[in-house]
Amino acid sequence: MSVVQESPSAVRLRAAELRRLIEHHNYLYYVLDAPEVPDAEYDRLLRELQDLEARFPDLVVSDSPTQRVGASPLETFAEVVHEVPMLSLANAFSEEEVRDFDRRVRERLGVERVEYTAETKIDGLAVSFRYEEGRLVRAATRGDGTRGEDVTANVRTLRAVPLRLRGSDLPGLLEVRGEVFMTLAGFRALNERQRSHGEKTFANPRNAAAGSLRQLDPAVTAERPLTFFCYGVARCEGCGLPDRHSELLQTLAGWGLRVSPEVRVVAGVEGCLAYYAELGRRRDALDYEIDGVVYKVDRLDQQLALGFVSRAPRWAVAHKFPAREELTRVLGVEFQVGRTGALTPVARLEPVQVGGATVSNATLHNMAEVERKDVRVGDTVIVRRAGDVIPEVVGVLPDRRPADAAQVSLPRVCPACGADVVRVEGEAVARCSGGLYCPAQRKEAVRHFASRRAMDIEGLGEKLVDQLVDRGLVRTVADLYALSPAQIADLERMGEKSAENLVHAIERSRRTTLARFLFALGIREVGEATARTLARHFASLDAVTAADEEALQGAPDIGPIVARHIVSFFAQPHNREVVAALRAAGVEWEEGEPRVVPTPLAGQTFVLTGTLSTLGREEAKSRLLALGAKVAGSVSARTRYVVAGADPGSKLERARELGVEVLDEGAFLGLLQRAEGAGQAQEA
């Protein structure tokens, strides 16, 4: 819906309705995990509200969904004094200690059995949220329990935290306590992004959550995958509360606050221990880290009667799981080659028990991580294991380093095939340059070669590639052109007709274009757009293979890194042998004279923000560069377009401030298609 008649009252009503709808969908998505509408519809509602507030600034209110990333960077965090201290919990590490806790509770209360609320102990950051008349007015970290830091501006960026509570019967003042944390999927994605940008990675989700929440720039916090669970109430004025802790959590959920779905009321100590055992079994299936479970006496009057001791309540205890981090020693470092040619250093360790399993190997991710952590053979290191995730070395104890500790060096040649190992300056990952013949990359090379935008061999899917390689029928992509129908028909789930169809598809692929062939070779950083640029500029394969880095950079938008990858690829004798074998097998294309073709987007600067659903960030960038555009990392007055995908960052707000035209994904794809069509017409 859009406002047709822009009378002040109609605009105000529409803005209020949009805020209500957006918060409703936030509640369904983040609290109930039951979204009603696709992301695109949510984005449309948010954009409409943003446009209204931009045109009518007096509509902006502090709890508008548009204000989640609206604060300016802070110079420091203000101190907050907790009127009700944020206490710690006593820990229990064994069944005997849990039974002792239950015995003390029963003896103090004079009862035979107690009901407990059992819940997961999130490994995150404790935060206090203060609501007045249903509006979020302050958020503070636990700190030392008495004094914490004011992180309101950052907490307001968390969509899982309601800026305004739901319902009409709300307390005048409500102070709730909860745990801010990062999901495991979000943590892995964040670390991968940090590594790709050559930035510091986080040791574990808790450190990542703490570091993200304590950013001085709220826009940075907004880009981090943080969420929270509420676990209790410190103060409530102007509204009656239930008599049990479990019912209190239900009330908080009704007001729009996120509560753990694992909360359960259990009977007596046996119920507690059964809950602990069940969560221990399911721990690795959860998408967040827990380091134990918490038992709380369910009846609030019994909690009051039990009171506190020192800085912990007598009515609650944390039952901890076995540690997931341990110390051990690095015996050596070996390098494994992945399907894309990436070399991963793997630490061979003195075997150690971590989280209930023996660990003797742990990933070091890449050479940038080895260098940043300064891991050496002989070092004592911290090893972390979480479920099915590969164990990793998260830190070194330098004070335990022996005098003969040896530095880790990147091998000069691939341990799988002997091709040169290439690590571009500034990049974290080193790669094998023998992409067409390296055994470790064989399946990936064949899959890419046969893909629709490359040689377009219809019917050659992933499972069939696996069989061809595993049986030794295909060692390089050139072997595809020697396959017979009988060989293919002998494979699992393949008959004579299917085999004949595949052979015909392989036969059709012999006639292609230079651009498709260059893309099919799988040269690092050479996507479709770059392959088209090379084909246009050099017009023949021999010219491309003979070009040095300087000559390659003479082609439009071919930079030094791409040029280095191309030269390195064709410098490998085995790669050249496979290319020669392909040409000998009859793979051919038309070649001509080099031509300089005008680029439709020459001189236009684009900035990409958010996630594009139909193409990756690198592909979008590659296609823009091939059309002559420039792709910048920040928005300025010289920016022509900002392309905004899902979950855009602060660049979108900056674009609006400067009046830069913003394209959603659909408009961006349309622009690309028109520009590429114009480029093809110019070529013709």
CATH of the domain at 391: 2.40.50.140
More confident call, 282 vs 560: 282
Claim to verify: residue 45 and residue 110 sit in the same structural domain: no
For the chain, what is the mean pLDDT? 87
Opening angle at CA 651, ends 650 and 654, nearest 5: 90
Among candidate residues 286, 320, 354, the one where a domain is terminated:
320
Among candidate residues 320, 342, 373, the one where a domain is terminated:
320
- CATH code, domain carrying 31: 1.10.287.610
Q: Which of 43, 79, 30, 312 is closest to 180 using CA atoms?
A: 30
- Is the sign of the CA dihedral 229, 231, 237, 240 positive or negative? positive
Residue 391 structural domain = 325-407
Model confidence pLDDT, tens digit, residues 284-303: 889 898 989 999 999 999 99
Domains in the chain: how many in total? 5
The verdict on residue 426 lying in a domain is: no
3-state helix, strand, coil in the chain (%, to 5): 40, 25, 35
Distance between CA atoms of residues 645 and 668, nearest Å: 10
Distance between CA atoms of residues 82 and 374, nearest Å: 41
Check: CB of residue 190 under 8 Å from CB of residue 224.
yes
Check: CB of residue 573 under 8 Å from CB of residue 419.
no
Beta strand ranges found along 387-522 (DSSP E) = 389-396, 406-407, 421-422, 431-432
Model confidence pLDDT, tens digit, residues 618-658: 778 878 877 778 888 888 888 999 999 887 878 888 898 88
Question: In the chain, what percentage of residues exceed pLDDT 70?
Answer: 92
pLDDT given for residue 71 in this prediction: 47
Active site residue 200: no
594 pLDDT band, cuts 50/70/90, is low
Claim to verify: residue 313 and residue 350 sit in the same structural domain: no
The verdict on residue 297 lying in a domain is: yes
More confident call, 202 vs 635: 635
- CATH code, domain carrying 204: 3.30.470.30
Claim to verify: residue 209 and residue 112 sit in the same structural domain: yes
Claim to verify: residue 227 and residue 281 sit in the same structural domain: yes
Distance between CA atoms of residues 559 and 406, nearest Å: 36
Claim to verify: residue 345 and residue 380 sit in the same structural domain: yes
Claim to verify: residue 262 and residue 400 sit in the same structural domain: no
* Residue that the structure tokens 């594009």 belong to: 612
Check: CB of residue 342 under 8 Å from CB of residue 369.
no
Residues 6+ apart with CB under 8 A from 94: none
Mean pLDDT calculated for residue range 560-579: 91
Claim to verify: residue 152 and residue 177 sit in the same structural domain: yes
- CATH code, domain carrying 545: 1.10.150.20
The verdict on residue 452 lying in a domain is: no
Bridge pairing between strands 264-267 and 312-313: unpaired
Q: Which tokens sit at 29?
A: 């998505």
Claim to verify: residue 483 and residue 353 sit in the same structural domain: no
The verdict on residue 376 lying in a domain is: yes
On the question of pLDDT at 168 being above 50, the answer is yes
Q: How many CB atoms lie within 10 A of CB 15?
A: 21
Q: Lowest-pLDDT range, 419-423, 593-597, 640-644?
A: 593-597
323-345 per-residue burial string, b: 16 or more CB within 10 A, e: under 16: ebebebebeebebebeebbbbbb
- For residue 630, give the H/E element and its range: strand 630-632
Sheet holding 173-182, edge to edge: 135-141, 125-132, 173-182, 226-237
Q: Which of 121, 296, 373, 621 is catalytic?
A: 121
pLDDT given for residue 682 in this prediction: 59
Claim to verify: residue 131 and residue 213 sit in the same structural domain: yes
Claim to verify: residue 316 and residue 335 sit in the same structural domain: no
The verdict on residue 85 lying in a domain is: no
pLDDT given for residue 68 in this prediction: 56
pLDDT given for residue 22 in this prediction: 83
Q: How many CB atoms lie within 10 A of CB 274?
A: 15
Distance between CA atoms of residues 385 and 352, nearest Å: 11
Among candidate residues 320, 350, 365, the one where a domain is terminated:
320
Claim to verify: residue 111 and residue 249 sit in the same structural domain: yes
Distance between CA atoms of residues 144 and 82, nearest Å: 10
To the nearest 10°, report the CA torsion of 3, 8, 12, 18.
10
pLDDT given for residue 528 in this prediction: 86
Claim to verify: residue 295 and residue 341 sit in the same structural domain: no
The verdict on residue 237 lying in a domain is: yes
Mean pLDDT calculated for residue range 403-432: 89
| Residue 436 DSSP label | T
